[in-house]
């Protein structure tokens, strides 16, 4: 079995064992795309959106899959919806990527809409804006008191991710990732897989150095 097939099997098991784990479905969809299994990838990505409909990057990947399957009408519908979600949330990278895909499909790029005020929270604005696409905190987002990791990734988390999202990752999802995938963080492969999940959870599209645990 190839390394890619082995990783697909791992993440398929994670998604099956924990059907509500959007990161498992998301990562499985990415790997299936890498393996050119676009039909199966669409199922994983659709499931991700069922769990977390504000995950704008998923709309982009799903649109790409549908284009590969020559389902241009479905792709257009998904990309238009995803563009609106990304625009409302301020997720510039997936929004622009979806705009380019729509242009290639011969569709006009939607005008940026002024986001409607949807938050019911009427307390004081914390002043910190979490940049994680699926952050539920809105105006209540609190910045961490210090960088949680001792490298550039930690500084990025401190600058862009709220305390609640970081704690959700560190206390819940990272434990699932390490335990369910049996990752050895002392190895390059283990750190790489951990890093991919962390970036998926935070909604980061770019590459960078792997994180290190705080002492």
Q: Which sequence spans correspond to the domains of the chain?
A: 3-104, 138-202
> Which CATH number is associated with domain 3-104?
1.25.40.10
Answer whether residue 209 shows pLDDT above 60: no
| Gap between the Cα atoms of 23 and 48, Å rounded | 8
Say if CB 117 and CB 109 are below 8 A apart.
Answer: no
| Gap between the Cα atoms of 86 and 30, Å rounded | 19
| Gap between the Cα atoms of 113 and 5, Å rounded | 42
User: How do residues 75-133 score in pLDDT, each as one tens digit?
Assistant: 999 999 999 988 887 777 788 899 999 999 999 988 875 444 444 544 556 688 898 87
Answer whether residue 155 shows pLDDT above 50: yes
The per-residue pLDDT for 125 is 66
151 vs 81 pLDDT, higher one: 81
User: How do residues 179-192 score in pLDDT, each as one tens digit?
Assistant: 777 888 888 888 88
**Residue 156: exposure state from Cβ atoms within 10 A (0-12, 13-18, ≥19):** middle
The per-residue pLDDT for 4 is 87
Q: 92-95, long-range: CB within 8 Å, 24+ apart, which pairs?
A: 93/205, 94/56, 94/57, 94/59, 94/60, 94/133, 94/205, 95/56
Lowest mean pLDDT among 25-34, 111-120, 138-147, 197-206: 111-120
Strands (E), 31-117: none
Pair of tokens at residue 213:
């645990």
């Amino acid at each position: 079995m190839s390394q890619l097939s082995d990783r697909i099997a791992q993440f398929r098991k994670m998604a099956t064992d924990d059907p509500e784990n959007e990161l498992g479905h998301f990562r499985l969809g990415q790997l299936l795309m890498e393996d050119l299994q676009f039909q199966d990838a669409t199922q994983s990505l659709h499931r991700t959106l069922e769990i977390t409909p504000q995950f704008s990057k998923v709309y982009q990947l799903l649109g790409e899959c549908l284009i590969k399957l020559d389902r241009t009408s479905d792709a257009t519908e998904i990309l238009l919806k995803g563009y609106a979600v990304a625009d409302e949330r301020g997720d510039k990278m997936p929004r622009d990527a979806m705009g380019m895909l729509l242009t290639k499909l011969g569709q006009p790029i939607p005008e940026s809409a002024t986001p409607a005020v949807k938050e019911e929270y009427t307390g004081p604005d914390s002043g910190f804006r979490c940049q994680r696409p699926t952050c539920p905190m809105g105006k209540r987002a609190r910045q961490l008191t210090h960088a949680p990791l001792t490298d550039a990734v930690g500084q990025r988390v401190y600058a862009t991710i709220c305390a609640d999202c970081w704690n959700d990752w560190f206390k819940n999802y990272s434990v699932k990732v390490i335990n369910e995938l049996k990752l050895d963080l002392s190895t390059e492969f283990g750190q790489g897989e951990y890093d991919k999940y962390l970036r998926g959870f935070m909604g980061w599209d770019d590459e960078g150095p792997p994180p290190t645990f705080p002492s």
